[in-house]
Amino acid sequence: MVEKLIGLALRNRLVVLLIAGGLFAYGVYSIKKNPIDAIPDLSENQVIVFTEWMGRSPQVMEGQVTYPLVSNLQGIQKIRNIRGTSMFGMSFVYVIFEDNVDIYWARTRVLERLNYAQRLLPQGITPTLGPDGTGVGHIFWYHLDAPKMDLGEQRALQDWYVKFALQTVPGVAEVASFGGFEKQYQLIVDPVKLQYYNISLMDVMNKVKANNNDVGGRKFEMADMAYIIRGLGYIKNKEDVENIALTNYNGIPVRVKDIGSVQMGGDLRLGIFDMDGKGEVVGGIVVMRYGENANKVIEAIKLKMKEVEKGLPEGVTFKTSYDRSTLIQEAIESVKGTLTEEMIAVSIVVLLFLFHWRSAVIILIQLPISVAAGFIFLEMFGISSNIMSLTGIALAIGVVVDDGIVMVENAYRHISVAQSEKISSTNKS
What CA–CA distance (Å, rounded) separates 195 from 296? 62
Question: What's residue 162's pLDDT?
Answer: 95
pLDDT band at 429 (very low <50, low <70, confident <90, very high): low
Residue 225 has pLDDT above 80, yes or no: yes
Rounded mean pLDDT of the chain?
86
Span 164-175, average pLDDT: 93
Span 111-137, average pLDDT: 88
Domains and CATH numbers, the chain: 2-38+328-415 (1.20.1640.10), 44-133 (3.30.70.1430), 144-175+274-323 (3.30.70.1320), 183-266 (3.30.2090.10)
Residue 175 has pLDDT above 90, yes or no: yes
Please write the tens of the pLDDT for every residue from 263-317. Answer: 988 887 877 888 888 888 999 999 999 888 888 999 999 999 999 999 999 999 9
Please write the tens of the pLDDT for every residue from 315-335. Answer: 999 999 999 988 888 877 877
Residue 427 has pLDDT above 80, yes or no: no
Among 35-39, 81-85, 332-336, 423-427, the minimum mean pLDDT is found in 423-427
What is the percent of the chain with per-residue pLDDT over 70, rounded to a whole number? 98
Please write the tens of the pLDDT for every residue from 375-397. Answer: 888 888 878 888 788 878 877 87
- Three-state DSSP state, 382: coil
The widest CA-to-CA distance across the chain, in whole angstroms, is 138
Question: What's residue 428's pLDDT?
Answer: 65
What CA–CA distance (Å, rounded) separates 315 from 325? 27
Burial class of residue 3, CB neighbours in 10 A (0-12, 13-18, 19+): exposed
Burial class of residue 293, CB neighbours in 10 A (0-12, 13-18, 19+): buried
Q: What is the DSSP letter of 282?
A: -
Among 279, 203, 213, CA closest to 248? 203
Q: Quick one: how many helices (H) and strands (E) in the chain?
A: 15, 14
Residue 357 has pLDDT above 80, yes or no: no
Residue 2 has pLDDT above 80, yes or no: no
Residue 25 has pLDDT above 70, yes or no: yes
pLDDT band at 6 (very low <50, low <70, confident <90, very high): confident
Q: Which residues contact 80 (CB under 8 A, 6 or more apart)?
A: 44, 96, 97, 98
What is the percent of the chain with per-residue pLDDT over 90, rounded to a whole number? 40
Query: In this structure, are residues 157 and 313 in contact, taking their beta carbons and an 8 Å threshold?
Result: yes
Residue 161 has pLDDT above 90, yes or no: yes
What CA–CA distance (Å, rounded) separates 320 from 355? 53
What CA–CA distance (Å, rounded) separates 264 from 154? 15
Question: What's residue 388's pLDDT?
Answer: 80
Query: In this structure, are residues 166 and 304 in contact, taking their beta carbons and an 8 Å threshold?
Result: yes
Query: In this structure, are residues 208 and 256 in contact, taking their beta carbons and an 8 Å threshold?
Result: yes
Residue 344 has pLDDT above 70, yes or no: yes
Span 248-257, average pLDDT: 91
Q: Which residues contact 15 (CB under 8 A, 6 or more apart)?
A: none
What CA–CA distance (Å, rounded) separates 398 from 338? 9
Span 21-42, average pLDDT: 85
> Strands, E, within 256-316: which ranges?
260-266, 283-288
- Three-state DSSP state, 343: helix
Q: What is the DSSP letter of 313?
A: P
Residue 404 has pLDDT above 80, yes or no: no
Q: What is the CA radius of gyration of the chain?
A: 34
pLDDT band at 49 (very low <50, low <70, confident <90, very high): very high
Span 399-416, average pLDDT: 78
Question: What's residue 234's pLDDT?
Answer: 87
Task: Please indicate, yes or no, whether the overall pTM of this predicted structure exceeds 0.85.
Answer: no
